Amino acid sequence: MKLSMPCNWDVELIEATKDLPVYDFYGAIATTPIGHGRPALILPDVDEDFVAEFIKKVHSTNRKFSNGSLNFRSLQYILQGCIAQYLRALSMLWAWEVKPSIL
């Protein structure tokens, strides 16, 4: 069995799940133009540097991190005139070594 764990950006979650068959974590930040299915108002307020460090810690445990919804539906933002924001967000995800999930 493999588990995909939703992330609440609590760094202790990484260590607390070390003995579980967690394959990857997934999560999103409130300021991304890439869809993720979570209301931005309930997401913890974290900055890009914190997210980058969190993802590095996940990777250091030989687990993955995914956006959870990086897929063709996200291309709607390009059509809505958000090309610059979309490319910046993709660049951030790529820099953090977040790979698209297959839905």
Closest CA to 32 of 88, 71, 100, 79: 88
Measure the N-to-C terminal CA separation of the chain; round to a whole number of Å: 18
Distance CA 31, CA 12 (A): 23
CATH assignment, 3-95: 3.30.750
Give the model's confidence band at 2: pLDDT under 50 very low, under 70 low, under 90 confident, else very high.
confident
Q: Domain ranges in the chain?
A: 3-95
Tokens of 8: 């609440």
6 or 87, higher pLDDT: 6
Share of the chain above pLDDT 90, in %: 23
- Residues 6-36 have pLDDT tens digits of 888 899 999 999 999 998 888 877 766 655 5
Is the pLDDT reported for residue 103 higher than 60?
A: no
